[in-house]
Amino acid sequence: MATLTMAKAINMGLRNAMKRDEKVVLMGEDIGKLGGVFRVTDGLQAEFGDMRVVDPPLAESGIVGTAVGMAMRGWRPVVEIQFDGFVYPAFDQIVSQVAKHHYRSAGKTTLSMVIRIPFGGGIGAIEHHSESPEALFTHTAGLRVISPANPVDAYEMIQQAIAHPDPIIFLEPKRRYWDKAEIDDSVDVMNKAEGYSRLFDARVAREGSDVTLVAYGPMVKTCLEAAAAAEGEGLSLEVIDLRSLTPFDIDTVVKSVTKTGRMVVVHEAPQFGGVGAEIAARITEKCFWTMQAPVLRVSGMYMPYPAARVEHAYLPDLDRILDSVDKAMEY
């Protein structure tokens, strides 16, 4: 057992995947000698060489396009987008090639590739460095979109994602890179009976009976803090960590909402057209007759991400979550 940050857990997961399969190649701006802006790939180029940990030119579209060609030839490229706000130059490649190739080839070829994107706010970054673009990818058929909320899941999910035959958008909550947990690195996660089958399963992060909080990535920890605070007020909140945005494990959420009768969805992205809207619609369809209150959403504002000095007012926090919980309980 080793106590690692999420960044180090992903690093260990990448190292294991590269040892397991020589076809795994890492590509991204400054991921080699520098080890990435967040040092997630620190030491990997020294261990595996500059032909498997590649520092390409600063051109996201070219990086992803090259990865597409490599995946078509049987390699398993893992692309790092340096910051969420830099993914847009590669958006055409992702939605036009990455997402559609399997369908366009009538299933004859696959693109087994992972695109890692540090996303979200909370680190006091400058403009274009704190985005939440997940809804753009969940709306695009052909992509799988996942996001770990803790170091243990990050360690396991990155390895399972690399081994998966489909293209995966791997959203890493940058504000949680320094959270720590114990990682059992003696267990080969790909030798478990379920392999990567549980990669797209949600998990019950905390059991409760009054209100279900649904979140993913950076907001899971905030929801757990809200649940702990609510306990002191006599409220029992169940926290669901989605882990996967598409496919969406609706069964786990339905089971929880059927028990509590109330649900609040929390994410950093703006509310309008966000992932929370789809979750709210699906749960309303499935649980209408058992719900005691409408589904409520807590999110970022419908505006460009603000300057770092005021991001605390933009991001969902414990108070905003508990306000929605109180509102749900009033119905």
Distance CA 62, CA 88 (A): 12
Is 128 assigned a catalytic role? no
Distance CA 10, CA 152 (A): 9
Q: Structure tokens of 239?
A: 């926290």
Q: Indicate the helix (H) or strand (E) that contains 76.
A: strand 76-80
Distance CA 217, CA 42 (A): 22
Torsion-angle region of 217 (φ positive above 0: left; ψ -120 to 50: alpha; else: beta): left
Select which of 101, 129, 164, 267 is catalytic. Answer: 129
Query: Which of 297, 270, 272 is CA-nearest to residue 120?
Result: 270
Distance of CA 103 to the CA centre of its chain: 24
Distance CA 13, CA 24 (A): 12
Q: Structure tokens of 10?
A: 């992903």
Active site residues: 129
